[in-house]
Amino acid sequence: MSTDPLLERLRAGGAVPRHVAIIMDGNGRWATERHLPRTLGHREGMKAVRETVEGAIAAGIETLTLFAFSEENWRRPAVEIGALMGLLEEYIARETRELRANGVEVHVFGDLARLSQAARDAIDQLVAGTRGGTKLLLNLAISYSSRAEIARAARRLAEDVRQGRLALEDVDEEALGLRLYTAGLPDPDLLIRTSGELRLSNFLLWQLAYTELHITPVLWPDFTRRHLFEAVIDFQGRERRFGRVTA
């Protein structure tokens, strides 16, 4: 059986990042360049999600977090938002069985109260239908804002202090981290952003403090597992010092 030489190089290259986060950017630009409706760009982006999930499993990545829909995206035209929500439901209906078969457990976080009932029901089905997967933990950030997440964690800390469940002197980085959506998970080792943009876009601001960044000009619908492998190989060549000096 033939093996992808790039994957073989990755496997021989050293430690693989345990947690990879991706800002999936460029769907609209991909469609505009082809004189197509933006919604078709989002539909093509769904194919890249499958490619990336399968690539993450092949590479041995433990956790994959995808920025699917930001809180700021609610400002887009209603037609586009409606199409995005419809694609979310379609993705869940089409992919849940495949994800479960591949050992993927899906978690979803963000301000889900803003979603339609149909979308929330679909997410519940996806989470329940993939529970227990052991090959990959897939986080989907939907209606997500990192600043809102940190503010939510601060409110939960304040309430715990007010109720006497937590002493004021015990409010520290660990205490706040335990109240984020990602509590219990390692911070991302690697962040990939597609489309060449050089910003974090209010994504995992707390968690990305020491994350290695990989920016690729590839638009999200064109992103394949080989691009993921290239990003991991780039990561393997980095020296991560976390503020320390080299021994």
Give the residue numbers marked as catalytic: 25, 73
Name residue, tokens 């093509």: 44
CA 93, CA 222: separation in Å to the nearest integer? 23
Tokens 């379609």 sit on residue? 90
Tokens of 151: 């503010």
Query: Which string of DSSP letters, residue by residue, matches 69-82?
Result: EEGGGGGS-HHHHH
User: What is the H or E stretch that residue 227 is in?
Assistant: helix 225-236
Alpha helices in 3-112 (DSSP H): 5-12, 27-33, 38-59, 78-101
User: How many angstroms separate the CA atoms of 10 and 22, rounded?
Assistant: 19
Q: In this structure, are residues 84 and 45 in contact, taking their beta carbons and an 8 Å threshold?
A: no
Token pair 């430690």 in the structure block, residue = 15
Residue showing tokens 């990989």: 214
C-alpha to C-alpha distance for 210 and 206, rounded to whole angstroms: 9
Q: Distance (Å, rounded) from C-alpha 62 to C-alpha 135?
A: 7
Q: Residue 14: count other Cβ atoms within 10 Å of its Cβ.
A: 11
